[in-house]
């Protein structure tokens, strides 16, 4: 674990409500949620489906405005209920890998990976080299000129991950990014992700509904309650790295962690 | 030669045969034969009648398509973030779309004279609505997930329009061009039928007025050829601009034949 000092991202007493069908039917999707992410941490978040995980990430990524509470980045409030208009991505500081790869079908793989750099006006020889490296690292070399419809699901997913890594946001949110993949490519991408994470000082908040995945990837696992979502428990994953992702279940710490987390979701 | 091309030629030959047979049945003074029409077209192409009149009709069509189509193309992008204005305009645009534009030809002639501009006005009034509705659909169909991704990546509103909304809407814009441009040529010819001294529509009207069936059919055939050549051009442009789609629908078929 690489926890040190002040939190990088602080979620304080966060709440989000939606207007229900009936006039008085206000429903809290997230309520009283508090947790912190420290620099360089890989935190996995696990909760029952429909427990407002995506809503939580949308608020952190500033796509949504909270109804209550606040979110701090390096001690500065970046989102709270007083905002009238969200500023998605928080000026390139918070990356967000969503469930779907969301590649632009009219751009080649390379142009897709470069997209955030282009719109941020940061595409130069240095960032191009970085894009080259990332493409090589995840084994997409040779496919730069392919359009998304010519790539497999796993390749598209890799491309969408390195698209976010390419512009180097300090925090990356991931919303069940590997849900739609088959077991084989999933394992492959998981180890790519850990490799990429260990290379750069990235802080990752990774939402999943798979306990094995939460344990295999995370330094810490946070469990959520069912609607309205708030933090139920926190578990330090004390399995030393590098971990063998394909045989994580054989780690001596695994059974205990699994049953503790299982009991909470 | 692939199967589709072969069958197309065979089908075309069959149509010509039926035409020839009909001509033989009625006599060339009411249905002229393909051969006579070909001869007429050949004479017109030599003496410049074909080029001048086809050029005139095509010019009216392209000008009208541009003058009506460009605002029809731009408006949906302007309305994208203005649901209130869209709701206000909606019934007016629907009524405008439903109005028979041909009924305006006499008015267009009063306003713009019997020269090319009354034809341009008719074509523009048809083009605007067709391009508008198709583009509007394209702008509405933009995948919100792509927009969200782009926003998180830091794209400004102008960048969203240019890098997400425009490319998503492009296939719909193209569909509009595919439908509207041939109709524009037809529209220009219809306006010429009513009042003109030039154009393929005028040739049809003039020849028929003199009971020259061969001339009228030759002018109609020339119109068909202009439309066919335009379609080939549109297809080429389509393949060039929408290469990323891999496969696409052409003409009236939903899948690619050939």
Q: What is the pLDDT of residues B193-216, one digit of tens each?
A: 988 889 999 999 999 999 999 999
Q: Rounded to an integer, what distance in angstroms lies between the CA atom of residue A207 and that of residue A46? A: 6
Domain co-membership, A174 together with A234: yes
Q: Rounded to an integer, what distance in angstroms lies between the CA atom of residue A148 and that of residue B244? A: 9
pLDDT of residue B69: 96
Q: Is residue A31 part of a domain?
A: yes
**CATH assignment at residue A44:** 3.40.50.300
Domain co-membership, A54 together with A125: no
DSSP character at residue B131 = H
Percent helix, strand, coil in chain A, to 5, is 35, 25, 40
Per-residue confidence band for B162, with pLDDT thresholds at 50, 70 and 90 = very high
Please name the residue of chain A whose CA is at the shortest distance from the CA of residue B161: A119
Domain co-membership, A148 together with A180: no
- Expressed as residue numbers, the domain containing A157 is 103-164
Q: Is residue B11 part of a domain?
A: no
Instruction: Tell whether the model's pLDDT for residue A60 goes beyond 90.
Output: yes
**CATH assignment at residue B127:** 1.10.3720.10
Instruction: Tell whether the model's pLDDT for residue B258 goes beyond 50.
Output: no
Please name the residue of chain A whose CA is at the shortest distance from the CA of residue B167: A106
pLDDT of residue B254: 40
Nearest by CB to residue B167, choosing from A94, A106, A119, is A106
Q: Rounded to an integer, what distance in angstroms lies between the CA atom of residue A68 and that of residue A198? A: 34
pLDDT tens-digit map of B121-147: 999 999 999 999 999 999 999 999 999
Q: Is residue A223 part of a domain?
A: yes
Q: State the smallest CA–CA distance between residue A254 and chain B in angstroms.
A: 35
Q: Is residue B87 part of a domain?
A: yes
Residues of A in contact with B151 (CB under 8 A): 63, 88-89
Domain end marker among A120, A146, A164: A164
Residues of B in contact with A149 (CB under 8 A): 244-246
Would you say B21 and B13 are in contact if contact means Cβ atoms under 8 Å apart? no
Domain end marker among A164, A190, A217: A164
Q: Rounded to an integer, what distance in angstroms lies between the CA atom of residue A92 and that of residue A61? A: 10
Written as six digits, the tokens of A10 are 């602080």
Residues 6+ apart with CB under 8 A from B20: B33, B34, B35
Per-residue confidence band for B1, with pLDDT thresholds at 50, 70 and 90 = low
Q: Is residue B78 part of a domain?
A: yes
pLDDT of residue B29: 85
Q: Cα torsion for A52, A56, A57, A59, to the nearest 10°?
A: 130
Q: Is residue A1 part of a domain?
A: no
Q: Which of A48-62, B106-120, B146-160, B221-235 has the lowest mean pLDDT?
A: A48-62
Domain co-membership, A85 together with A174: yes
| Burial status of residue B248 (CB atoms within 10 A of its CB: 0-12, 13-18, 19 or more) | middle
pLDDT of residue A161: 92
Domain co-membership, A155 together with A197: no
Inter-chain touch B154–A147, beta carbons under 8 Å: no
Domain end marker among A117, A138, A164: A164
Domain co-membership, A89 together with A20: yes
Say how many domains are in chain B: 1
Please name the residue of chain B whose CA is at the shortest distance from the CA of residue A61: B152
pLDDT of residue A1: 44
Domain co-membership, A109 together with A13: no
Written as six digits, the tokens of A239 are 């399995």
Q: Is residue B25 part of a domain?
A: no
- Expressed as residue numbers, the domain containing B119 is 31-243
Domain co-membership, A184 together with A61: yes
Q: Is residue B26 part of a domain?
A: no
Note the ipTM here: 0.89
Q: Is residue A3 part of a domain?
A: no
Q: Is residue B258 part of a domain?
A: no
Instruction: Tell whether the model's pLDDT for residue A261 goes beyond 80.
Output: yes
Domain co-membership, A136 together with A53: no
Q: Is residue A174 part of a domain?
A: yes
Per-residue confidence band for B120, with pLDDT thresholds at 50, 70 and 90 = very high
pLDDT of residue A23: 64
Residues of A in contact with B163 (CB under 8 A): 104, 115, 118-119
pLDDT of residue B124: 97
Nearest by CB to residue B244, choosing from A63, A106, A119, is A106
pLDDT tens-digit map of A120-169: 999 999 999 999 999 998 889 999 999 999 999 889 999 999 999 999 89
pLDDT tens-digit map of B8-18: 999 999 999 99
Residues 6+ apart with CB under 8 A from B57: B185, B188, B189, B192, B199, B200, B201, B223, B226
Please name the residue of chain A whose CA is at the shortest distance from the CA of residue B152: A89
Would you say B150 and B159 are in contact if contact means Cβ atoms under 8 Å apart? yes
Query: With b meaning 16 or more CB within 10 Å and e meaning fewer, what string describes A103-114?
Result: bbebbbbbbbbb
Q: How far is CA B146 from the centre of its chain?
A: 32
Q: Which of A197-201, A219-223, B71-75, B105-109 has the lowest mean pLDDT?
A: A197-201
pLDDT of residue A226: 84
Say how many domains are in chain A: 2
Domain co-membership, A194 together with A255: yes
Q: Is residue A187 part of a domain?
A: yes
Domain co-membership, A224 together with A247: yes
Quote the mean pLDDT of chain A. 90
Domain co-membership, A109 together with A88: no
Q: Is residue B256 part of a domain?
A: no
Residues of A in contact with B149 (CB under 8 A): 96, 98, 102
What is the DSSP code string of A11-32? EEEEEEEEE-SSTT-EEEEEEE
Find the mean pLDDT for residues B35-59.
Answer: 94
Q: Rounded to an integer, what distance in angstroms lies between the CA atom of residue B248 and that of residue B171? A: 9
pLDDT of residue B247: 53
Q: Is residue B113 part of a domain?
A: yes
Nearest by CB to residue B154, choosing from A105, A119, A147, is A119
């Amino acid at each position: 674990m690489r926890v040190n000092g002040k939190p990088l991202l602080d979620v304080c007493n966060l709440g989000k409500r939606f207007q229900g069908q009936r006039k008085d039917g206000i429903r809290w999707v997230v309520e009283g949620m508090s947790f912190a992410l420290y620099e360089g941490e890989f935190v996995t978040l696990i909760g029952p489906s429909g427990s407002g995980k995506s809503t939580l990430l949308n608020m952190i990524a500033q796509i949504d405005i909270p109804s209550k509470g606040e979110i701090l980045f390096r001690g500065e409030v970046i989102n709270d209920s007083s905002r009238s208009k969200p500023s998605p991505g928080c000026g390139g500081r918070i990356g967000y890998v969503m469930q779907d790869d969301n590649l632009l079908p009219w751009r080649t793989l390379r142009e897709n990976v470069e997209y955030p750099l282009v719109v941020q006006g940061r595409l130069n020889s240095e960032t191009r080299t970085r894009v080259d490296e990332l493409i090589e690292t995840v084994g997409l070399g040779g496919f730069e000129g392919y359009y998304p419809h010519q790539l497999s699901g796993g390749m598209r997913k890799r491309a969408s991950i390195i698209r976010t890594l390419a512009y180097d946001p300090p925090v990356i949110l991931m919303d069940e990014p590997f849900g739609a993949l088959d077991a084989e490519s999933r394992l492959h991408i998981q180890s790519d992700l850990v490799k990429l994470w260990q290379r750069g000082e990235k802080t990752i908040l990774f939402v999943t509904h798979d306990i094995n995945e939460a344990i295999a990837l995370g330094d810490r696992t946070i469990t959520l309650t069912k609607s309205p979502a708030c933090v139920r428990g926190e578990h330090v994953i004390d399995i030393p790295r590098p971990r063998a992702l394909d045989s994580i279940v054989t780690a001596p710490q695994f059974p205990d962690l699994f049953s503790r987390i299982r009991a909470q979701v | 030669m692939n199967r589709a091309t072969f069958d197309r030629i065979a089908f075309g030959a069959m149509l010509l045969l039926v035409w020839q047979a009909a001509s033989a049945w009625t006599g060339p003074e009411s249905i002229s034969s393909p051969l006579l029409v070909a001869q007429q077209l050949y004479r017109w192409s030599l003496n410049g009648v074909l080029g001048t009149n086809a050029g005139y009709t095509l010019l009216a069509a392209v000008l009208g398509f541009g003058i009506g189509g460009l605002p029809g193309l731009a408006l949906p992008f302007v309305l994208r973030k203005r649901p209130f204005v869209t709701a206000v305009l909606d019934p007016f645009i629907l009524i405008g779309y439903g109005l028979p534009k041909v009924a305006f030809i006499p008015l267009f002639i009063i306003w713009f004279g019997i020269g090319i501009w009354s034809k341009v006005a008719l074509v523009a009034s048809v083009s605007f609505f067709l391009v508008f509705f198709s583009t509007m659909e394209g702008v509405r169909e933009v995948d919100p997930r792509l927009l969200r991704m782009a926003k998180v990546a830091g794209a400004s509103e102008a960048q969203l329009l240019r890098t997400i909304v425009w490319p998503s809407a492009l296939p719909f814009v193209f569909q509009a061009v595919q439908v509207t441009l041939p109709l524009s040529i037809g529209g220009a010819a219809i306006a010429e039928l009513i009042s003109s001294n030039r154009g393929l529509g005028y040739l049809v009207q003039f020849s028929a007025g003199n009971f020259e069936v061969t001339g009228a059919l030759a002018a109609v055939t020339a119109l068909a050829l202009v439309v066919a050549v335009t379609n080939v051009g549109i297809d080429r442009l389509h393949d060039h601009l929408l290469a990323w789609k891999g496969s696409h629908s052409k003409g009236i078929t939903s899948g690619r034949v050939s």
